[in-house]
Amino acid sequence: MHQQRNTKQKQVVETMLKQAGRPLLPKELLSKAQESLPQLGVATVFRALKKMVDEGTATVVCLPGDSPRYEPSGLTHHHHFKCSECECVFEVNGCPGHLDELLPKGFQLTGHEITLFGRCADCSADHL
Ligand SMILES: [Zn+2]
Ligand SMILES: [Zn+2]
């Protein structure tokens, strides 16, 4: 019985993360998941996320100076945008590429992360 409940809770967390379409903090995920499971606690969300990372269904998104956020695994190569007003992080599709051209001579590029900062559409609208 206990096991079943845990499985259901993890499913809700997993579904919410997929539906969100952007990387979420555990507390953001918690408030979304509580809409369908009001009794859900933050410890359960952390446990579910850890399990999903172990299983490979979720990926940790670490922006400099921020707590880890989570997004579903298997997304195509993309980057992130952080709104400096509401502090939400969004997926940015596309990549400028050719970043190896920036490297000093003799260096080899093995990966990159790009974070854009600014105001999201909702927060920009507030400023009109
Ligand atoms: Zn915003
Ligand atoms: Zn890229």
Cα(90) to centroid of ligand 1, in Å? 10
Ligand lying closest to the C-alpha of residue 77: 2
Query: What pLDDT does 3 receive?
Result: 64
Cα(125) to centroid of ligand 2, in Å? 28
Q: What percent of the chain has pLDDT over 70?
A: 97
By residue count, the chain amounts to 128
Is the pLDDT at 25 greater than 80, yes or no? yes
Ligand lying closest to the C-alpha of residue 96: 2
* pLDDT tens by residue, 53-87: 999 999 999 998 899 999 999 999 999 999 999 99
Domains of the chain: 8-72 (1.10.10.10), 78-126 (3.30.1490.190)
Query: What pLDDT does 6 receive?
Result: 75
Q: Is 104 buried (19+), middle (13-18) or exposed (0-12) by CB count in 10 A?
A: exposed
Cα(32) to centroid of ligand 1, in Å? 17
Instruction: Please identify which residue in the block is written with the tokens 């695994």.
Output: 73
Cα(4) to centroid of ligand 1, in Å? 37
Is the pLDDT at 100 greater than 60, yes or no? yes
What is the secondary structure of 4-57 as a DSSP string? HHHHHHHHHHHHHHHHH-S-B-HHHHHHHHTTT-TT--HHHHHHHHHHHHHHTS
Which pTM was predicted?
A: 0.87
